[in-house]
Amino acid sequence: MTTAVPTVSDADAAVILARCDELARHSSLTDGIERTYLSAEHAAVNYRVAGWMAAAGLTTWQDAAGNQCARLSGSTRGLPALLLGSHLDTVRAAGRYDGILGVLVAITVAGRIAASGRPLPFALEIAAFGDEEGTRFGTTLLGSRAVAGTWLDSWWDLRDADGTSLREAFLAFGLDPARVGDAAVVADEDDRPRVVTPQRDEQRERRRRRRVVAAGIDLVQRRPAQADAGVERRGAEADRRVATRSKIVHGMF
């Protein structure tokens, strides 16, 4: 007897498309869609998406770079988390599905798992990146670069068309520029936040990180930053090892 493979139902698809329509209304343009990093529209969609994440049974938080994140715990502690997601920002005169559809499908998948009562052995995380397109500050992938631990201090002086610096935009959004490295927190075997440094043992690194590049999925050990966890930014060697992580995740949708 063949077991049917679960698929997204028509009802799920209708909800996802309706949510795309709703997020499309959060735009700085009156005759199209534009939603840029650290803008009022960015804050509005983060708030709305956080509500959908919570309704799906996920733990939610906004990370130190303004990415909206969520987590569904697995049944076995210490295993890598499966990270899904995409971005919520847009180019000018954008479509309503690029990036957004990836975030909303991930929430639907996580919600179905949560509702099934059959947890995965590993945790499932969702990242709704605040910047992929680079529309506002002219540098792409700011959200995922923060998560990957490859943030550059030189970016703080980038300015948008109105002359607002990236540092000023962080502060106006309620973020602390000094803590942007907290977005790159990972977890150890006991699922506790730990510091990542360039001197990490390579054998332990290989054991802890397992990438399934062909499937466009990155299995990584990470969890939300805890207050005052004393987390440092990744070092140069760690940066090189995880630099492709954000590209893998963005390539999923």
Q: Which domains, and CATH codes, for the chain?
A: 10-250 (3.40.630.10)
DSSP letter, residue 3: P
- How far is residue 136 from each of residues 41, 78, 141, 167, 177, measured CA to CA in Å? 12, 38, 12, 13, 17
218 and 248 in contact (C-beta within 8 Å)?
yes
Taking residue 117's Cβ as centre, other Cβ atoms within 10 Å add up to 6
pLDDT digits (tens), the chain, 253 positions: 554 445 568 899 999 999 999 999 999 999 999 999 999 999 999 999 999 999 999 999 999 999 999 999 999 988 889 999 999 999 999 999 999 999 999 999 999 999 999 999 999 999 999 999 999 999 999 999 999 999 999 999 999 999 999 999 999 999 999 999 999 965 544 554 443 433 333 433 443 343 332 233 333 334 444 333 333 333 333 333 333 333 333 333 3
pTM given for the model: 0.76
